[in-house]
Structure 1
Amino acid sequence: MKKIWIYITLCSITLLWTACKKHDFAAGTLSPIIAVSDLRDLYKGSDVTLTKDNMVGASQIVGIVISNPDSGNVPKNMIVLQNFRRSVTRGVLLPLGDAAANYHSGDSLVVKVEGAMLKKVDGALQISGLTESDIQKVSSDNPVKMQQASSYAIKTNPGAYESTLVQIKSATISPAPKPDETFAGERYLVNGADSIIMHTEATANYADTKLPGSATVAGILIVGQHDGQPALSIWPRYGSDISETTKPVDPTGPGLGNGAVIITGYINDTKGADGNYEYFQFMATQTIDFEKTPMAVVTCTNAGTAAPNAGDAPGAGWATGGGRTYKFNLTSGVVNKGDFFYVGGSNKKINGPNSTDISTSKWIRAIAYVTNDGDGFGSMSAGLLPNSGNAGGIAIFEGTDVVETSVPLDVVFFGGTGKTTIYNATTNKGYRIPENDHYNPVDSTGAAQSFMFQGSNNYIFPHSTPADAGIFIKLGGSFDVANKKWITPRAHVYYTLSASSLIDEIEKGADATTLSN
């Protein structure tokens, strides 16, 4: 009996010991690698010596080089290392002196950082104290991940983009370049309500290339000094980082003038889902080749929570971007006098999901706006136009360079009559309006009233009801082409579409817009 109890006791001890070993094993071995995002979080405003203790047992970082010394446009003596870990992209600068020239875009590196210093120099986070012996190159020619971002997103959360490869879509070059000006030096990329500096060293292999009027620009986002202050700048790596260019506007060229294109209808609340199904109808009053004469369509929404400038008028008017305004660039295609054409969501259906395909109609620009930012400004959104509440608007501009002072060629507003988020009389901020059938930038006494809801500019087409009925709003009137003015002002007609409705239903009939010669 005594032997049995001894055996049971030994078994119990063995089981306890095994259980303890399992617990230790489950705890795992700490990784020798720390994500760059976690490393950046260690900086709290003062220099940090990197140790295994503060890096939770780690001693290394890994990443892909995104800088390329051969291009001639990279911060001197710097490696820019980008790391994608746990679905987050972050970057950091590695000052390495002349040895930085040995590392090129696409190199995969393992870097020993234990004992180095995490610090900010001129506002940029870097790891100092490294030597080439701390760096192991694992492979070359690896793909480099690029983040697409608006200048608004970058300014809102700069740490998410600092020292990473970013692309800014359809940005306007400012100041507007003269015909012979080149990339060398600094220019602003105007993108909605914000701008980013574009920096090009004189040694860059594209420095002597002539500047476009606007472009999609990729490059490394660098934090540095500009006029003595910390500033964000994008450093393109090669000439191929500059794409989707448009020529600078010829200051001596003829302008189209108000009424070259008029807004004739829209659908803001399709049957079922709205995302990528909203669209806007226009009519050309003269022949326009958008490649030669580009234009832009901008929508706005003004709920009290819409940002930036939540609860207030838009800080940069139609160019505010973010969740307030969204831009479509019209840069290709031809429309003739009297043609209807369309701009809007990528699905190109007449009335939401499972309705008639109208993709064979004259579409000049379509964007999958649920998953894509606008052309130059505007954040991706489930819907561009409001279905209730404060007014929304649609405007069309000559050129793609839309800034705070830009005045549209035509504009309509629809919805509620709340003014707070549309015009601020104290700051004189809001949406600029042209002279058309319902708005005038000058009142009857000759005084300026440049904005919607300023002076007599109060005309609003009401929201359609009921919701989710698939109502296309026809804006019918009569337009005098010769004198570029409305003979009969636009009035609204709510036209309820079905899933099988055809395009003729929104382009023809007594309630459609007509032209008078």
Structure 2
Amino acid sequence: MKTRILYIICCFAMLLISACKKHDFADGTLSPIIAVSDLRALYKGSDVPLTDKNMQGATEIVGIVISNPDSGNVPKDVVVLQNIRRSATRGINLALGSSSTSYHSGDSLIVNVNGAVLKRVNGALQIAGLTAGNITKVSANNAVTVRTASSYTIKANPDQYESTLVKITAATVIPVPKFGDTYAGEKYLVNGADSIVLHTEATASYANNAIPASATFTGVLFQSLNAAGKTIFQVWPRSGADVTDIVKPVDPDGSLGPNPVIVTGYVNDSKGADGNYEYFQFRATQNIDFSKTPMAVVTCTNAGTAAPNAGDAPGAGWATGGGRTYKFNLTSGKVNQGDFFYVGGSNKKIDGPNTTDISSANWIRTIAYVTTDGDGFGSASTGLLPNSGNAGGIAIFVGTNVTNTSVPVDFVLFGGTGVTTIYNATTGKGYLAVDNDHYHLKDPTTGVDQPFIFQGSNSYVIPHSTPADAGIFVKLGGTFNMTSKIWTKARGYTFLTMSPTSALTDIETGTDVTSVTK
């Protein structure tokens, strides 16, 4: 019995000692590797000597090289290393002097950074004080991770994207290129209200290639300082192959001429879920081959909380992007004079889920906009157009280079009549209008200029369809003469409540559709 009691006491003592030890230290050894995200967090505005102490026992970073010295488009003496740890993709510049040319895109490296210095040079965060002796190359030709981003998301989260490989889809090049213009130097890639510099060294292998009007650009994102000391963001493509989905420059005066397309209807509130079901109907007033004469469709929404420029007029008009405007590039397909065509969500249903499939219609461009950003600007969203309260709009432009000065060839505005988020007379910001059946660039009575929607007499708004969630196609009935290019009867509107079995003929025929004459 005494032996048993003694045994129990010993067990309790061992448990007590074990518990105390757990409070005194943690089992295991510290990792010799620090994540690049954690390393970047050490920088607080001044140089940081790197030691195993401030790196919590670590001495190394690991990652994949994303810069490519062979193309000639990389900052001198720099290797860019990208690292993914704990689902965080981050990058860092390695200052390696002349030995930087020894490392190529896809190389896997271990870098001993103990004793080096973390600092910003010309705006870019880098590790200085390294030599080739600090580098161990593990393997070559590894896959590199590319993240799709917009100028809006990059500028909102610069630390997440600096010195990483990014893809900017359907970005427009500014100034608008002419045939024969090349990549060399710096241009702007415009994404809505924001832009990022496209940088090409004169020594780059593709520097003298013809630059497109619009394209998808992949490259290393660098943070830099301009001559005024202001932070700017630059995309440096690694080679000519990093530029895809190319749209060649078009005649900046618009080779299609006036009013090549008119807006004839839309669905902003389909039955049930709206995501990827909103769409817009157009009618061509001439034969169009979009591969030769591209166009763009832009939608807008103007809730007081919609950003950028929340509670105010859009800072870059139709090109503001973010949660305000969303662009579809029309760069392929054809439409004949007088025919309808469609642009919108990827589901191609007439009235939301479980309704007639209308994929047989002439769809020129669709995007799964719930998960996909617009072509050049516009953030992914569950709905591009408002269903009540605030004003929404649909505009179509010649070319894909939609900027703050771009004027549509036609547009419609529907919904709310609040001026605050549409036009700001003090700053001169807002959505540019065009002469059509309801809007005029000069007041018909006074002759005063009124280039903006909701400026002067430009106050026409189609009301919101009611009731909500009824599945309504808004038919815009009017008459347009395709020879004279004028409206002989202004567009009205009819709210057609659809059913699950509604067909294309329901929205393309009848006395309440927009008719075209010669």
Q: TM-score range by the shorter chain?
A: over 0.9
What is aligned with 1:338? 338
What is aligned with 1:467? 468
Q: CA deviation at 1:175?
A: 1.7
Q: CA deviation at 1:95?
A: 0.2
Amino acid across the alignment from 1:464: S
Mapped partners of 1:403, 1:270: distance in 2: 30
What is aligned with 2:195? 195
3-state secondary structure, aligned to 1:99: helix
Q: Structure 1: 5+ residue runs without aligned partners?
A: none
What is aligned with 1:422? 422
What is aligned with 2:178? 178
Give TM-score scaled by structure 1 length: 0.97
Mapped partners of 2:43, 2:56: distance in 1: 15
Aligned pairs (5 A) from 1:263-302:
263-302=263-302
What is aligned with 1:221? 221
What is aligned with 1:358? 358
Aligned pairs (5 A) from 1:248-397:
248-251=249-252, 254-257=255-258, 259-397=259-397
Amino acid across the alignment from 1:452: I
More off after superposition, 18-27 vs 31-40: 18-27
Q: CA deviation at 1:287?
A: 0.8
What is aligned with 2:236? 235
Q: CA deviation at 1:2?
A: 4.8
What is aligned with 2:157? 157
Give TM-score scaled by structure 2 length: 0.96
3-state secondary structure, aligned to 2:216: strand
3-state secondary structure, aligned to 1:114: coil
Q: CA deviation at 1:14?
A: 2.5
Q: CA deviation at 1:117?
A: 1.1
Q: CA deviation at 1:8?
A: 2.8
Mapped partners of 1:30, 1:290: distance in 2: 59
3-state secondary structure, aligned to 1:440: coil
Q: CA deviation at 1:25?
A: 8.5
What is aligned with 2:505? 504
Q: Percent identity?
A: 66
Amino acid across the alignment from 2:461: I
Mapped partners of 1:327, 1:7: distance in 2: 78
Amino acid across the alignment from 1:299: T
Mapped partners of 1:304, 1:174: distance in 2: 30
Q: CA deviation at 1:415?
A: 0.4
3-state secondary structure, aligned to 2:40: helix
Distance 1:253 1:409, change over 3 A: closer
Q: CA deviation at 1:183?
A: 1.3
3-state secondary structure, aligned to 1:490: coil
What is aligned with 1:134? 134
Amino acid across the alignment from 2:48: V
What is aligned with 2:114? 114
What is aligned with 2:482? 481
Q: CA deviation at 1:43?
A: 0.9
Amino acid across the alignment from 2:145: K
Mapped partners of 1:285, 1:70: distance in 2: 49
Q: Structure 2: 5+ residue runs without aligned partners?
A: none
3-state secondary structure, aligned to 1:240: helix
Mapped partners of 1:15, 1:459: distance in 2: 81
Q: CA deviation at 1:193?
A: 1.2
3-state secondary structure, aligned to 2:492: strand
The CA deviation string for residues 218-248 of structure 1, in whole angstroms up to 9 with x for no partner, is 1111122333534211111011011111222
Mapped partners of 1:385, 1:252: distance in 2: 30
Amino acid across the alignment from 2:10: L
Distance 1:190 1:62, change over 3 A: same
More off after superposition, 17-26 vs 463-472: 17-26
Q: CA deviation at 1:29?
A: 3.3
What is aligned with 1:451? 452
Mapped partners of 2:6, 2:473: distance in 1: 88
What is aligned with 2:95? 95
The CA deviation string for residues 31-53 of structure 1, in whole angstroms up to 9 with x for no partner, is 22221112111111111122233
3-state secondary structure, aligned to 2:468: coil
Q: CA deviation at 1:18?
A: 4.3
The CA deviation string for residues 427-466 of structure 1, in whole angstroms up to 9 with x for no partner, is 0100001011111111022211011110001111001111
Distance 1:402 1:163, change over 3 A: same
Mapped partners of 1:180, 1:300: distance in 2: 34
Mapped partners of 1:455, 1:252: distance in 2: 27
More off after superposition, 134-143 vs 398-407: 134-143
Amino acid across the alignment from 1:477: G
Distance 1:23 1:356, change over 3 A: farther
Amino acid across the alignment from 1:487: T
Mapped partners of 1:22, 1:424: distance in 2: 64
3-state secondary structure, aligned to 1:491: coil
More off after superposition, 298-307 vs 96-105: 96-105
Amino acid across the alignment from 2:243: I
Mapped partners of 1:312, 1:458: distance in 2: 18
Mapped partners of 2:191, 2:382: distance in 1: 21
Distance 1:344 1:85, change over 3 A: same
What is aligned with 1:33? 33
Number of residue pairs matched by the alignment: 516
The CA deviation string for residues 353-410 of structure 1, in whole angstroms up to 9 with x for no partner, is 1111111100000001111110111011110000011100000001111111111000
Mapped partners of 1:177, 1:417: distance in 2: 38
Mapped partners of 2:28, 2:456: distance in 1: 70
3-state secondary structure, aligned to 2:442: coil
What is aligned with 2:11? 11
Mapped partners of 2:178, 2:204: distance in 1: 20
Amino acid across the alignment from 2:381: S
In the alignment, is the contact (CA less than 8 A) between 2:169 and 2:375 conserved in 1?
yes
Q: CA deviation at 1:9?
A: 2.4
What is aligned with 2:493? 492
What is aligned with 1:432? 432
Mapped partners of 1:484, 1:382: distance in 2: 36
Distance 1:398 1:252, change over 3 A: closer
Amino acid across the alignment from 2:84: F
Distance 1:100 1:465, change over 3 A: same
Mapped partners of 1:155, 1:509: distance in 2: 49
Distance 1:394 1:253, change over 3 A: closer
Mapped partners of 2:407, 2:139: distance in 1: 53
In the alignment, is the contact (CA less than 8 A) between 2:296 and 2:400 conserved in 1?
yes
Mapped partners of 2:226, 2:244: distance in 1: 26
Alpha-carbon RMSD across the aligned residues, in angstroms, is 1.6
More off after superposition, 407-416 vs 242-251: 242-251
